[in-house]
Amino acid sequence: MMDFGHGTLRKEGREAGLSVERAQRTGLRDAMIGLVALAAAFLWLGCPSCPYEARCEGNVLHTCWLGVDQLVGSPARDAVECRAPNPVCVDLDDRNAQCVMDDQATCQEPFDPFCEEGAVVDCVEGYEVAEDCAGNGNGCHDIDGSVFCAVAPLTPCIMGEYRTRCDDTRVLSCQRGFVTARDCAAYETPTFCVEYTSEYGRSAYCY
């Protein structure tokens, strides 16, 4: 049976289609490589518009960073006042800074975290830094040398089985095997707790 060249045309069409597909894949791959290289260059060299990642002005912590959204725009900048339990701002070097309990409260590793006035005190970059448990509606607990924030009294939970939920303005989740609270109203800009349903089930977050 004669195909009058139809078979050849189909073959050439398939080859042309494959060529286009390969070109598209190559173009996408090259674009991704270019984006990754650009991001790597920024991470390696630092953001040209950010002479610092964090720095202190008095006890105000200023931050400047470059994320994916800023790759084609200006860097993101923010400023927040250091507040209790970490009311003092200290410069770590010419590019980094953090809020600490006291600029005289230096420390070094190994360091054993401990509970103090409703907070977990740990050593971070050579300074004692407190994680505020009470401010989020938690207590500070020390169990066999493991110090952490969790609701009081301690409520055991199983990661993956406990459903994150709202309790008034707090988000309750399972952390380290115990129910832990995060108070949305305690943010610098107060928010509230919202429950939602997704393909993974019900959960909650601060909005």
Residue 189 pLDDT grade (very low, low, confident, very high; cuts 50, 70, 90): confident
Q: How does the average pLDDT of the chain come out, rounded?
A: 80
Comparison of pLDDT for 34 and 119, the residue scoring more: 119
133 has pLDDT over 70:
yes
Spatial separation of the C-alpha atoms in residues 91 and 136, rounded to whole Å: 27
204, 165 Cβ separation under 8 angstroms: yes
Whether residue 28 lies inside any domain: the answer is yes
Residue 35 lies in a domain: yes
Task: Say if 33 falls within a structural domain.
Answer: yes
Q: What is the pTM of this model?
A: 0.66
Q: Which residue from 191, 84, 189, 183 is spatially nearest to 138, judged by alpha carbons? A: 183
Work out how many domains the chain is built from and give that number.
2
pLDDT one-digit tens code per residue, 26-71:
454 554 544 444 444 444 444 446 788 999 999 999 998 765 544 5
Closest C-alpha to 148, from 186, 109, 178: 178
> What are the backbone dihedrals phi and psi of residue 20, each rounded to the nearest 5 degrees, phi first?
-65, -45
Q: What is the structure's pLDDT at 72?
A: 52
Report yes or no on 102 lying in a domain: no
Q: Is there a domain that residue 96 lies in?
A: no
Tell me which residue of 156, 200, 204 sits closest to 184, measured CA to CA: 204
Assess if residue 52 is contained within a domain: no
Q: In angstroms, rounded to a whole number, what is the distance separating the alpha carbons of residues 203 and 109?
A: 37
* Tens-place pLDDT, residues 69-95: 445 555 567 889 999 999 999 999 999
Classify residue 172: in a domain, yes or no: yes
181 falls within a domain: yes
Q: What's the domain range around 40?
A: 7-45
